[in-house]
Amino acid sequence: MINQSILLFFRNLTNNKLFSFINITNLIVGFATFILLSSYINRELSYDSHHEHYERIYRLQLFMDQEENILKHTWSVTAALGRQVLPGIPEIEKTVIMHDVGDNNKNGIFLSMDKKNQVLVRYGYYADPSLFEVFSYRFIEGNPEDALRNPFSIVLSHTVADKLFPSEKTLGKQVYGENKLAFTVTGVYEDLPQNSDMRPAYLLPMNTFTPVTGWVDYAENFWAYSFYTFVLLRENADPDAVDKKIHDALKDYRKEHHPYLRPLSKLHQNAYFQPDYMIALGMFYLIAILILILSAINYINLQTANATSRLREIGIKKTVGFSKKSLWKQFMVESVLTTLIAGLIGLLVAHSSLPVFNRLLGQQAMTSVLGNWRLLLVILMVTLITGFVSGLYPAYVISAFNPVKALKQKFIEDDSNGISLKKVLVTAQFSISIFLLVVGFII
Amino acid sequence: MIRTENLSKIFRTEIVETTALNKINFGVSKGEFVAIMGPSGCGKSTLLNILGLLDSPTSGRYFFDGIEVTGFSESQRTKLRKGNIGFVFQSFNLIDELTVYENIELPLIAMNIPGSKRRDRVEQILESMRIGHRRKHFPKQLSGGQQQRVAVARALITKPKLILADEPTGNLDSTNGEQVMQLLEQLNADGTTIVMVTHSLSHADRAHRIVNLFDGYIVTERIEKAFYPVG
């Protein structure tokens, strides 16, 4: 019977082209929007999750308990904390200290391979060799164990290496910074994913910091806040215990400043304990679900309204002995098949709409919605559930047709004067639409 | 085979109450061929629908093959109808999206008969109805007579105890109508009980008995041919 249901489904699809087109397009729009927003939210929530030790990595931050200071938190800290205080804490397995190269975020610096063809590069950092033990960098050339050991070495991201040495092996080659300093390439790593809080374009070893900047006592200076510090906690270590130990580490210098650890998993969404970003993500998620619900309600109403076209078929089937249950199953199969087809096309539409979506967000947020198998599984489950739930009411209505009236093609009008599911669905549709319009207007 | 006692059917709307059948006492023996005649709106189709378990009476009793089915639920009626009653309609009532083969196969699918057995039975009936060469065609590609042969084949595929035909020749020309009547006569000769609603006296004359309805009442019954009950 399932085979026959599938056969009838595809034949009805092609015989009623306009209705099928409207019906499936409605679902495609709902699914595509849901998939895009879900992928975006998933991306936002999975920042840095590609690092192997993701759950044990923390960033050192400062809470500045000063009423007059608007900025209450900062992740620019003194290197002295990382060099003098943190090594004494048994819960901490590794520490990484980093610093911007030059005026990092504003102008960048020029790198070249021959002092002639200059490439402007932003987001370079000085970093301890332990960086590669804490974070997961995939090396294309060189060895992460010693790439940042020697002074005046440089480790390049793949994009920068390709710009400087197109289609060449780069290990051992010279790179000039601002045509003044020469660095030897000791490694090339794959670009970190877009959803990384920090995406260094290149790295210089921390032992090059003093020769380049002339800053000799940075590791003893408790007053200079321009360094970044990450720690890898030991397995099962309690970060709150570490917080207690370092809370008053600056009491002899700035007693109102209190260091603490913030987990890597929270840095992108909520580094400073402000819920705004999470609220925004929550709103996005709500919008995604509401749009899907809207599509499902549309589908239910369209299917129910189109029931007259199936009257004869139902009347005949009931006459020859098909039970209400078997007819219900037939229409449920049709509903699930419809949503599966719409879901698949919706996935392709979402994928091809990414450039437009990224432009709307003003960033290169995503390059693919097909890469995450877990998300694809969730989308498949949502599609199946949508098909099942959306099919319940139309299947119930259609399978309940009186066979005599069905054969005469007399549609059973909804003559309920009170509350009916159809009225509830239409009201819900309008309410959701108005809500989305208002939200869209506000945003 | 089938018997009604004081069977009535009343249709009610908010404004009007219509008595379609009024205390009908009607019976058909096994192997009998009965024709029901009467003007439009006299209750012929209503009676046929109740006899076919597509509808239930408002009052009275209905016995099918010795079992009282009056208070049966829809699912009980469907279960009893499956395999026991075959229908032939004036407008053929074939499913346009299914081929001839698939239309005939439908009652067997409803009975959960496995695919290989279904195939054998459908092939057999396609040949006996001389429509095997059209098995992959859709109803819209057939003539009226061919469509009705498909409908008859579908009605017969489960070897039912009873065939109910509601004006089976109504949409056919005389030649095709004659062919369908010959089919029904042959089926009856082979032992199938048939109840047929018709406007055509010449077709009704083929039956053993003609029952005339008027305004929901049986007004006359006429024996056309001698009938000797089976068993």
Query: Do A285 and A370 belong together in one domain?
Result: yes
A209 near A126, Cβ under 8 Å? yes
Residue A283 lies in a domain: yes
| Closest residue to A404, CB basis, from B55, B110, B158 | B55
Assign 3-state DSSP to chain B and report helix, strand, coil percentages, each to 5: 35, 30, 40
Question: Residue B231: pLDDT band by 50, 70, 90 thresholds?
Answer: low
Query: Do A99 and A233 belong together in one domain?
Result: yes
What's the whole-number mean pLDDT along residues B151-177?
A: 90
In the predicted model, is pLDDT for residue A195 greater than 90? no
End-to-end CA distance of chain B: 11
Which of B12, B45, B53, B54 has the most A C-beta neighbours within 10 Å, making it the best mutation to test the interface with A? B54
A50 near A43, Cβ under 8 Å? no
Quote the mean pLDDT of chain A: 87
**Can you tell me the distance from the alpha carbon of B229 to that of B227, in angstroms, rounded to the nearest whole number?**
6
B87-134, pLDDT tens digit by residue?
Answer: 998 888 899 989 999 999 999 999 989 888 899 999 999 998 888 999
| Closest residue to A323, CB basis, from B54, B78, B97 | B78
For residue A415, what pLDDT is reported?
A: 45
DSSP A84: I
Query: Do A144 and A40 belong together in one domain?
Result: no
- Within an 8 Å CB–CB cutoff, is residue A316 touching chain B? yes
Decide which of A117 and A142 is more confident.
A142
Give the three-state DSSP class for A29.
Answer: helix
Range in A55-69, A98-112, A335-349, B11-25 the model is least confident about:
A98-112
Q: In 10 A of CB B171, how many CB atoms?
A: 16
Residue A350 lies in a domain: yes
Residue A410 lies in a domain: yes
For residue A365, what pLDDT is reported?
A: 65
Extract the runs of DSSP E, i.e. beta strands, from B33-119.
Answer: 33-37, 59-64, 67-68, 85-89
DSSP A160: H
Give the three-state DSSP class for B201.
Answer: helix
Which of A5, A309, A320 has the most B C-beta neighbours within 10 Å, making it the best mutation to test the interface with B? A320
Say yes or no for a CB contact (<8 Å) between A321 and B81. yes
Range of the domain at A145: 66-255
Q: Which of A258-272, A350-364, B215-229 has the highest mean pLDDT?
A: A258-272
Which of A4, A15, A319 has the most B C-beta neighbours within 10 Å, making it the best mutation to test the interface with B? A319
> How many percent of chain A have pLDDT more than 90?
39
For residue A409, what pLDDT is reported?
A: 66
For residue A259, what pLDDT is reported?
A: 93
In the predicted model, is pLDDT for residue A417 greater than 70? no
Evaluated on CA atoms A96, A101, A107, A109, the torsion sign reads negative
Query: Do A160 and A74 belong together in one domain?
Result: yes
Query: Do A128 and A226 belong together in one domain?
Result: yes
Query: Do A316 and A235 belong together in one domain?
Result: no
CA A416 to chain centre: 47
Residues paired with residue A119 on neighbouring β-strands, in sequence order: A111
Residue A260 lies in a domain: no
Question: Residue A139: pLDDT band by 50, 70, 90 thresholds?
Answer: very high
**Can you tell me the distance from the alpha carbon of A139 to that of B17, in angstroms, rounded to the nearest whole number?**
87
**This prediction's pTM:** 0.77
Q: What is the bridge-based pairing of β-strands A174-177 and A124-127?
A: unpaired
Which residues, in sequence order, are CB contacts of B40 under 8 Å at separation 6+?
A: none
Residue A264 lies in a domain: no
- Within an 8 Å CB–CB cutoff, is residue B74 touching chain A? yes
Q: What is the bridge-based pairing of β-strands A73-74 and B193-197?
A: unpaired
Residue A57 lies in a domain: no
Chain B residues within 8 A of A320 when measuring between CB atoms: 82, 87, 106-107, 110, 154
Query: Do A314 and A205 belong together in one domain?
Result: no
Separation in Å, CA of A307 to nearest CA in chain B: 15
CA A437 to chain centre: 25
B141-152, pLDDT tens digit by residue?
Answer: 999 889 999 999
Say yes or no for a CB contact (<8 Å) between B106 and A313. no
A297-342, pLDDT tens digit by residue?
Answer: 888 888 887 777 788 888 899 999 898 888 888 889 989 999 999 9
Question: Residue A416: pLDDT band by 50, 70, 90 thresholds?
Answer: very low
| Closest residue to B75, CB basis, from A320, A323, A407 | A323
Query: Do A222 and A178 belong together in one domain?
Result: yes
- Within an 8 Å CB–CB cutoff, is residue B120 touching chain A? no
B74 near A403, Cβ under 8 Å? no
B65 near B161, Cβ under 8 Å? yes
> How many percent of chain A have pLDDT more than 70?
94
Query: Do A163 and A297 belong together in one domain?
Result: no
Q: What are phi and psi of A150, to 5 degrees?
A: -95, 140
| Closest residue to A318, CB basis, from B78, B109, B154 | B78
Burial of A442 (0-12, 13-18, 19+ CB in 10 A): exposed
Query: Do A209 and A249 belong together in one domain?
Result: yes
Say yes or no for a CB contact (<8 Å) between A319 and B52. yes
Which residues, in sequence order, are CB contacts of B123 under 8 Å at separation 6+?
A: B132
Query: Do A151 and A214 belong together in one domain?
Result: yes
A200 near A132, Cβ under 8 Å? no
For residue B94, what pLDDT is reported?
A: 92
Chain A residues within 8 A of B54 when measuring between CB atoms: 318-319, 403-404
- Within an 8 Å CB–CB cutoff, is residue A17 touching chain B? no
What is chain B's length? 231
**Can you tell me the distance from the alpha carbon of A190 to that of A49, in angstroms, rounded to the nearest whole number?**
16
Radius of gyration, alpha carbons of chain A: 30
Q: Which chain A residue shows the shortest CA-CA distance from B53?
A: A319
Token pair listed for A56: 């044990």
Say yes or no for a CB contact (<8 Å) between A320 and B154. yes
Instruction: Among A189, A223, A255, identify where a domain stops.
Output: A255
Decide which of A431 and A241 is more confident.
A241
Q: What is the bridge-based pairing of β-strands B162-166 and B2-12?
A: unpaired
For residue A100, what pLDDT is reported?
A: 92
Residue A60 lies in a domain: no
Which residues, in sequence order, are CB contacts of B42 under 8 Å at separation 6+?
A: B213, B214, B215, B216
Token pair listed for A255: 């007693």
Instruction: Among A225, A255, A285, identify where a domain stops.
Output: A255
- Within an 8 Å CB–CB cutoff, is residue B89 touching chain A? yes
| Closest residue to B54, CB basis, from A312, A319, A322 | A319
In the predicted model, is pLDDT for residue A402 greater than 90? no
B109 near A1, Cβ under 8 Å? yes
Q: What is the bridge-based pairing of β-strands A57-64 and A257-263?
A: antiparallel
Residue A158 lies in a domain: yes
- Within an 8 Å CB–CB cutoff, is residue A407 touching chain B? yes
Half-sphere exposure of A427 (CA within 13 A, CB side): 6
What is the number of structural domains in chain A? 2
End-to-end CA distance of chain A: 50
For residue A102, what pLDDT is reported?
A: 81
The angle, 0 to 180 degrees and rounded to 10, between the axes of the packed helices A324-352 and A373-399 is 140
Decide which of A74 and A69 is more confident.
A74
Separation in Å, CA of A331 to nearest CA in chain B: 15
Query: Do A73 and A39 belong together in one domain?
Result: no
In the predicted model, is pLDDT for residue A108 greater than 90? no
B220 near B212, Cβ under 8 Å? yes
A341-364, pLDDT tens digit by residue?
Answer: 999 999 999 999 988 888 887 766
The backbone region for B13, taken as left when phi is positive above 0, alpha when psi lies in -120 to 50, beta otherwise, is beta
Residues paired with residue A281 on neighbouring β-strands, in sequence order: none
For residue A200, what pLDDT is reported?
A: 95
